[in-house]
Amino acid sequence: MVCFIDNAGTGMKRISGWLLVALLSAAPALAVDGGARASAKEQTQSPAVEQGKRLIYALTHGSDADFLKTLHTVYPGTKTPDAQWLEFRGNLANLQYHGVNEATPTHADLSVYDANGQDWARILVDVSPAPAHPVTSFGIHQGTRPADVPAPPKLPPDALVAAARKQIATDVAAGNFSGAAIIARNGKPIFERAYGYADRAAKTPNTLNSKFRIGSMDKMFTSVAIMQLAQAGKLDLNASIGKYLPDYPNKSAAAKVTVNELLAHAGGVGDFFGPEFEAHRNDLRDPKDYVALFGKRPLEFEPGTRQSYSNFGYIVLGRIVEMVSGQSYDDYVQQHIYVPAHMTSTGQEPETVQVPGRVTGYANKDGKLVPATEDQVWRGTPAGGGYSTVGDLLNFANALMANGLLDAAHTALLTNGTISLPGGDKTHYDFGNSTDDGTRYFGHAGGAPGQNGELRIFPKSGYVIVVLANRDPPAATAIATFIGDRLK
């Protein structure tokens, strides 16, 4: 599912690539910009509900022309170009309206189901109190299964594998999946298989050793690296980033933002995707390049007051790893994470380097699958863009859970740690602390055009799910969700 927030005064804030999939799985929730949540008793026939339902119906039915006519009638103030709305609409063919979570006359929180991604979402709509009630903001955010929807059956291992095999085969036959998957229990695979092509033109099949681009899953390695340095007494998680980056361009921000806040996407340093990134895509080769270009910007909000997913924040963390360790980011994670975890096929090599076994990613553009080469970052970064295999990521999970990368206390801090926000709310570190129908798991997801990956670690049951795809999201996320929802 493509998620975004659109306020009439600002235009679409698109959640692309790495942010998209992280939002839909293990990442912290994105702060809602589209108006405060309603606290009044549900009003299922309120103007906000009716306008929201009109937009949902138009998004999923009829022609593009019909949709745009309804859009500009219901939401005349949108600043988002029609082309972006149509791109968004193209990802919602299987969206299903379910019902009202809560509403007032001017605000609605609606529940929808994305059958393609097998995921629940919330649509938040605000409208004007004036007659005709035009929409003033519209957003889609991560949701949970409503209480009135039965949970999928919990399956023992043999039945789980059979169900996963059948579901993946269905997705492959429908053209929705190409990649590899592992289900492991207590460290050992109980299911592992590859599907589809690593190179469609050459008919080269994907294998369990294929190296898939993993998007934001690299953030796991950055989080572990930061925690290792904290464990060694070389880094204070509560210290400001200026302590470790004396040359950070915005001195005021450097003095305010802490390492902890960056780990939890609460630092306010912003993201880097946008026109400036596109203009310098091939010039941004190391963390210091990103910090020099984007670190001069003012903060988007006071650090520690809210969350907003920030790829740039993890670039800054990677730069801190370099400054504290005295090694390049790539050398540090190779020595301190990849080697001890027995990850022999994971790396950050540039797209200009021919990496044996690295697959071609295929994006769906105008209804056709095309190589996504133009959508890749120049090389992997502390925020994402590297590559790995399903086996390497299982090895990473096993090493982490065996306290092979961190001691027990810092493993617990990494996977359970929080910071407090105003009002008493808490937010977890980006490494994740999420649930599938009440079952705790952690890990990370990643995605961009032509790539999607998921690592989900279930500490109570001992299950680990790894799914990597060389297709657009939610190719891997849908399968990981299907499996995770059925774990017993």
The CATH number given to whatever domain includes residue 409 is: 3.40.710.10
Label residue 437 by pLDDT band (50, 70, 90).
low
Average pLDDT over residues 284-310: 94
208 & 232 share domain: yes
47 & 192 share domain: no
pLDDT at 436: 58
pLDDT at 37: 36
151 pLDDT more than 90:
no
pLDDT at 6: 56
115 pLDDT more than 80:
no
pLDDT at 12: 40
- Whether 148 maps to a domain, the answer reads no
pLDDT at 7: 53
pLDDT at 119: 78
Q: For residue 182, give both structure tokens.
A: 């592992």
Label residue 27 by pLDDT band (50, 70, 90).
very low
pLDDT at 40: 38
398 & 438 share domain: yes
397-411 pLDDT, tens digit each: 999 999 999 999 999
pTM of the model: 0.85
Domain boundary among 142, 163, 195: 142
Residue 201: Cβ-neighbour burial (10 angstroms; 0-12, 13-18, 19+):
exposed
22 pLDDT more than 50:
no
Could you tell me the CA-to-CA distances from 321 to 226, 269, 408 in Å, in that order? 6, 18, 21
pLDDT at 403: 97
158 pLDDT more than 50:
yes
Q: Is residue 141 within 8 Å of residue 124, measured between CB atoms?
A: yes
pLDDT at 344: 98
289 & 414 share domain: yes
312 & 460 share domain: yes
118 & 215 share domain: no
Q: Return the percentage of the chain with pLDDT > 70, whole number.
A: 89
Q: Return the percentage of the chain with pLDDT > 90, whole number.
A: 70
Which amino acid is located at 199 in the chain?
D
**Top-confidence residue, 400 or 280:** 400
479 & 389 share domain: yes
- Range among 73-87, 347-361, 414-428 rated most confident: 347-361
pLDDT at 423: 80
- Whether 319 maps to a domain, the answer reads yes
Report the mean per-residue pLDDT for the chain: 88
Instruction: Output the DSSP codes for 78-123.
Output: --S-HHHHHHHHTT-TTEEEEEEEEEETTEEEEEEEETTTTEEEEE
456 pLDDT more than 90:
yes
Domain boundary among 104, 119, 142: 142
- Whether 441 maps to a domain, the answer reads yes
244-274 pLDDT, tens digit each: 999 999 999 999 999 999 999 999 999 998 8
Question: How many domains does the chain contain in total?
Answer: 2
Query: Which candidate, 270, 259, 253, places its Cα nearest to that of 226?
Result: 259
pLDDT at 170: 95
Domain with 327, as residue range(s), is 154-488
Could you tell me the CA-to-CA distances from 2 to 97, 141, 391, 460, 484 in Å, in that order? 16, 10, 28, 31, 21
For residue 45, give the CATH number of its domain.
3.10.450
97 & 191 share domain: no
360 & 459 share domain: yes
pLDDT at 329: 98
Spatial distance between the Cα atoms of 161 and 308, rounded to a whole number of angstroms? 37
- Whether 375 maps to a domain, the answer reads yes
Label residue 360 by pLDDT band (50, 70, 90).
very high
- Whether 460 maps to a domain, the answer reads yes
120 pLDDT more than 90:
no
- Whether 147 maps to a domain, the answer reads no
Spatial distance between the Cα atoms of 179 and 196, rounded to a whole number of angstroms? 6
Domain boundary among 142, 163, 191: 142
126 & 233 share domain: no
pLDDT at 300: 95
**Top-confidence residue, 25 or 66:** 66
Label residue 33 by pLDDT band (50, 70, 90).
very low
220 & 95 share domain: no
- Whether 325 maps to a domain, the answer reads yes
For 194, phi then psi, to 5°, come to: -115, 155
pLDDT at 439: 81
pLDDT at 32: 30
Average pLDDT over residues 182-209: 97
229 & 316 share domain: yes
Q: Is residue 111 within 8 Å of residue 101, measured between CB atoms?
A: yes
**Top-confidence residue, 331 or 87:** 331
Label residue 56 by pLDDT band (50, 70, 90).
very high
- Whether 220 maps to a domain, the answer reads yes
